[in-house]
Chains A and B, each alone.
Chain A
Amino acid sequence: MTKTRKAAALISGGLDSLLAAKVILDQGIHVEGLNFFTGFCVEGHTHAIRKKDKAKPKRNNALWVAEQLGVKLHIIDIIEEYKDIVINPKHGYGANLNPCLDCKIFMVRKAKEWIEKNGFDFIITGEVLGQRPKSQRKDTMAIIAKESGANELLLRPLCAKNLPPSKAELEGWVEREKLYGFEGRTRKPQMALAAELGFDDYAQPAGGCCFLTDKQYSQKLADLWKASGSRRYELDDIMLLKVGRHLRPRPHFKLIIGREDGENRFLHGYRKQYTHLFTVSHKGPLVLIDGDTAAEDLDLAAQITARFSQGRNADRVEVEIQLLDGSSQTLSVRPIAAEAMPGDWYL
């Protein structure tokens, strides 16, 4: 009796990794999924925060993919280890603060550690040659295999025919002829394969699954590093960058302003860690202050808070400020005029 071979599939929740895993499952391989959580993943939590997004499906796409495939999924917290990838990417950043090549090397390396620990035979990914400008070129795909240490244990079923055979093919565990030779940025071959395999509902096309590819998010992260004087972050920092309006009226502090009830509720969870403000005479946002503030800064923060409340056109708005020592004060302020807030305050 031949031994059933086992593959670990990197599952992002997108179409490519779904197809890659399905292609290998259909060759009689036992497949289990690995999904790595970096803290920057675009997933249900952002939908969960904002009230206006309540109508959107809140499913976790990686779990959904695993269900479609009928495979187990292991979601792995790599938040701490991933910091070094974001802060010091050996291969540099993409268009924003996205360290895509280092990220892929890191994830494949973690997958290799996982298969060694769990007695699996090889790793599969949904990479497609030429699909991404930095991490999915022929030269960089070779770098991923080499620097991750996975080498011939790494199989990319969707573009395997364009690459040297991996161990799974050489050993006859999978038939190379039944793999694919997709290449380029077009999504049409994947969509056609999805239709052939019976998938008509799948998540976003490749990309867009990481906040670091987002220009505005990257600007906020760069601002965080600049203001703190060091390229470090904690999970709460990067979560807060996803929520609210961020304004930096002075170099030494910024305001995080809830845009609606869901965000206000989320920010409320941070009220013990940050000095925060809210309007008492009118309905308005919850505002966190990130940084050190003197009395005149609190006055400015209160004026801005009033600006974003329903009292923006009132002569005076009452704003309560709760300080970190537990004390509070109420200021009566005139909402700051829109023209007094330069565009570069907005991050």
Chain B
Amino acid sequence: MSHYELDARRLLCPMPVIRTQEKAAKLKPGDTLAVICTDPGAIHDIPAWCRVNGHEIISIREQQDELRINVLICDG
């Protein structure tokens, strides 16, 4: 189990989701992925993407104009 980070700053919806999806496809169940983004739409879209594809949100943190969304990769 490893931890990864994805810089999705400045990308607009749905690009943060697409980049998350591409990265997640290369990871194993149990890995965690922190997605750092600036599009406020990601606060809805990445959790929705996790729900439909069987992954889990561990936490969402907002710091200034950035979001840090921690995803647990599951065997979706």
Contacts and interface: CB of A to CB of B under 8 A. Distances in A.
B52 A71 contact: yes
A137 interface: no
A152 interface: no
A59 B48 CA distance: 9
A45 interface: yes
A63 B76 contact: no
Interface in B49-76: 49, 51-54, 65, 76
A60 B41 contact: yes
Nearest to A35: B14
Nearest to A66: B52
By size class, the interface of chain B is 20 to 34
B51 A44 contact: no
A73 B44 contact: no
A63 B18 contact: no
Contact of A37 (B18, B65, B76): B18
A73 B52 contact: yes
Nearest to A65: B52
A47 interface: yes
Interface string A55-93: 000111011101100111111110000000000000000
* A37, A43, A44, A64 pick with most chain B CB within 10 angstroms: A44
B49 A45 contact: no
A239 interface: yes
A269 interface: yes
A63 B52 contact: yes
B1 to A, nearest CB: 23
Given A44-B41, A59-B45, A72 B12 contact: no
A75 B13 contact: no
Contact of B45 (A44, A70, A76): A44
B74 to A, nearest CB: 13
B8 interface: no
A75 B18 contact: yes
A43 B12 CA distance: 10
Interface in B6-50: 10, 12-15, 17-18, 21, 39-41, 44-45, 48-49
Contacts of B15: 37, 77
Interface residues of A, number: 28
A48 interface: yes
A75 B51 CA distance: 14
Contacts of A73: 49, 52-53
A75 B17 contact: yes
B10 A44 contact: no
B10 A269 contact: yes
Contacts of A265: 65
A104 B64 CA distance: 41
Contacts of A60: 13-14, 17, 41, 44-45, 48
A63 B41 CA distance: 12
A203 to B, nearest CB: 14
B21 A67 contact: no
A75 B52 CA distance: 12
Interface in A5-40: 35, 37
24 contacts: A43-B13, A44-B45, A45-B12, A45-B41, A47-B41, A48-B13, A48-B41, A58-B41, A58-B45, A59-B44, A59-B45, A60-B14, A60-B17, A60-B45, A63-B48, A63-B49, A64-B48, A67-B51, A70-B52, A71-B52, A72-B54, A73-B49, A73-B52, A74-B21
Given A43-B14, A58-B40, A59-B44, 5 more contacts: A37-B15, A44-B13, A45-B13, A58-B13, A72-B53
Q: Closest 5 interchain pairs by CB?
A: A45-B12, A44-B41, A63-B48, A44-B13, A48-B41
